[in-house]
Amino acid sequence: PFTLDSTQVLGVAVDQPLIDWGKTRAEVQAARRLAEAQLALVDATRLDIAEEVTTAYVTLVREVELLEILRRQLSDLREQVGGLQAQVNAGVATRVELRKVETEISLTQSEIARGEYQVIRAEQQLQRLTGSQQSSNVSQEALEQFYLAFRAQTLDEAQTRAQLNHPEIIAFSRRLASKQAEVLAAQRGRFPGINLRGQLAGGWRNGEFGDESGISLNLSAPLYQGNRLFAEQKKVEEELKGLQQEYVFELERLVENVTFGWNNISSLERSVGQLQQQVRQNLSRVNDVEEERRAGLATTGDVIDAKKAWFRSQELVVDEMSRLNEARTMHLLDMGTVQ
């Protein structure tokens, strides 16, 4: 119970650190850098999604181009069978040759049905990943333009862009900065601090009312926590060393990937060029065989075989170009270009 002889004091006190040797600032910086690292990991997730979309896009381009080659081949075979039927009626060609062309038509139609299924499947995969029902603008030209717009001119440029822009490396660097700030905070936490204390209070003491408000400076030091604080500091420092090693490893791995991608692109570009040269040679062979047929030195079957080799070489170009497209887009992803 309250009596005039009792002591009753009511008040509020506020402590404001004046000097903590940068501990609070380091803790805030550590938290901020860690949050930035988490945001960078979101970008890394976007990069993974971009890789899936890119693969689906490249696959659709390949399937569409292979289907177009088959359709051109079917159209050519139908032209051949029309002319061959007239030759059979005139007694110039045999029905064996006609049956061969008809068999080729049947096989090509079967391959076209399979190709149409592959195109539909690739379209559905791309639509599922993008959430869009539109895939009509897919083309090799679009892939070429995209790569030429964002490619690096030199290997050194590619490596530098990767180290500066890849979201996983950015996330690592920010985690590293966060851990460095944690080390600084742990180090400064062992130092004594100076606090400003403001107090607004008043009350009864032995029957008299008194004002006990005031301002004071306090010195605080962790006298009995030294070992614990030292152990925490060593723990954070060891974590920093481990993270630094991981960071160096990730940088080296990324540079290796970029270098491999660069060399792989050069190799595939040469391979595509060689296959395109083979297409031109096969086309020249088709023209020669057609001339021989007109001169009576070759049959329609010879022409069909020559054209079959020509169309097959076009398919090889498409397959190799698809591998080149994938290598190029993965290279852009390694540089952090596509996000």
Pairing of strands 193-205, 8-19: antiparallel
Cβ atoms of 167 and 339 closer than 8 Å: yes
Partners of 215 in beta bridges: 198
Tokens representing 212? 């006990």
pLDDT for 67 equals 95
**Cα separations (Å) of 267 from 83, 152, 202, 229, 258?**
43, 16, 86, 57, 14
pLDDT for 2 equals 45
Residue reference for tokens 């938290």: 31
Cβ atoms of 121 and 56 closer than 8 Å: no
Q: Residue 70 and residue 82: Cα distance in Å, rounded?
A: 18
Cβ atoms of 329 and 147 closer than 8 Å: yes
Written as one letter, the residue type at 190 is R
Pairing of strands 193-205, 208-211: antiparallel
25-37: string of b/e by CB count within 10 Å (b at 16+)?
Answer: ebbebbeebbebb
pLDDT for 1 equals 47
Tokens representing 331? 């290279």
pLDDT in tens, the chain (339 residues): 444 455 665 666 666 665 555 666 666 676 777 777 777 677 777 788 888 888 999 999 999 999 999 999 999 988 887 777 777 777 766 777 778 888 889 999 999 999 999 999 999 998 888 887 766 577 888 889 889 998 999 999 999 999 988 888 888 888 888 877 777 776 666 666 666 666 666 666 666 656 666 666 665 656 555 566 677 778 878 888 888 888 899 999 999 999 999 999 999 999 999 999 999 999 999 999 999 988 888 887 788 889 999 999 999 999 999 999 999 999 998 998 765
pLDDT for 202 equals 61
DSSP string, 238-273: HHHHHHHHHHHHHHHHHHHHHHHHHHHHHHHHHHHH
Query: How many other CB atoms are found less than 10 A from the CB of residue 124?
Result: 13
Cα torsion angle, 107, 108, 114, 117, sign? negative
pLDDT for 79 equals 85
- 211: DSSP letter: E
Pairing of strands 8-19, 208-211: unpaired
